[in-house]
Chain A
Amino acid sequence: MAIIEVNNLSKTFKVKLKEKGLKGSLKSIFKPKYKVIKAVKNINFEVEKGEMIAFIGPNGAGKSTTIKMLTGILYPDKGDIKVLDIDPKKERKKLAYNIGTVFGQKEQLWTHLTPYDNFKFFGAIYDIPEVRVEKKINELKELFELDEFINTPVRNLSLGQRIRCEIVASLIHEPKVLFLDEPTIGLDPVVKENIRTLIKRMNKEYKTTIFLTSHDVGDIEKLCKRVIIINNGQVVLDDSMENLKYHYLNKKIVEAKMKEKVNLDDEEGITILKDKGYNLKIEVDTKKRSVADALKLLNPDNIVDINISNMPLEDIISTIYKNEADK
Chain B
Amino acid sequence: MRKYLFIFKSELMSNLQYVFNIFVGFFGYFIMLFILFNLWKYMYSDPNELINGYNMSQMTWYVIITEILWMTLGGRKLCRKICNDVRGGNIAYNLNKPYNYIGYCLSGHLGSIAIKGLIYTVLGMIMGFIFLGNFPDLNIFSILAVLITGILATAISILLITFIGLFSFIIEDANPFYWLYGKVILILGTVFPIEYFPTFLQPFLTFSPIYVVSYGPAKLFVDFSFGTFASVLLAQIIYLFIGYLLCTLMYRKGVKNLNVNGG
Q: Do chains A and B touch in the complex (CB under 8 A)?
A: yes
Interfacial residues, chain A to chain B (CB-CB below 8 A):
20-22, 25-26
Q: Report whether over half of chain A's contact residues are helix, strand or loop; otherwise say mixed.
A: helix
Residues of B within 8 A of A21 (CB): 17
The closest CB in chain B to the CB of A24 belongs to B20
B19 at the interface (CB under 8 A from A): yes
Please give the distance in Å from A126's CB to the nearest CB on chain B: 42
B7-18 interface code vs A (CB 8 A; 1 in, 0 out): 000000000010
**Measured between alpha carbons, how far is A26 from B17 in the docked complex, in Å?**
12
**Measured between alpha carbons, how far is A20 from B17 in the docked complex, in Å?**
8
Number of A-B contacts (CB under 8 A): 7
**Would you list which residues of chain B between 12 and 55 have a CB under 8 Å from chain A?**
17, 19-20
Residues of B within 8 A of A26 (CB): 20
Residues of B within 8 A of A20 (CB): 17
Please give the distance in Å from A232's CB to the nearest CB on chain B: 36
Please give the distance in Å from B202's CB to the nearest CB on chain A: 45
**Measured between alpha carbons, how far is A31 from B17 in the docked complex, in Å?**
20
Residues of A within 8 A of B19 (CB): 22
* Interchain Cβ contacts under 8 Å between A and B, 7 examples: A20-B17, A21-B17, A22-B17, A22-B19, A22-B20, A25-B20, A26-B20
The closest CB in chain A to the CB of B24 belongs to A25
**Measured between alpha carbons, how far is A26 from B19 in the docked complex, in Å?**
11
> Can you list the 7 inter-chain pairs with the closest CB atoms, starting with the nearest?
A25-B20, A22-B19, A22-B20, A21-B17, A26-B20, A20-B17, A22-B17
Please give the distance in Å from B37's CB to the nearest CB on chain A: 28
Please give the distance in Å from A224's CB to the nearest CB on chain B: 47
Residues of B within 8 A of A22 (CB): 17, 19-20
**Measured between alpha carbons, how far is A215 from B189 in the docked complex, in Å?**
62
The closest CB in chain A to the CB of B18 belongs to A22
Residues of A within 8 A of B20 (CB): 22, 25-26
**Measured between alpha carbons, how far is A22 from B119 in the docked complex, in Å?**
14
**Measured between alpha carbons, how far is A20 from B16 in the docked complex, in Å?**
12
B59-92 interface code vs A (CB 8 A; 1 in, 0 out): 0000000000000000000000000000000000
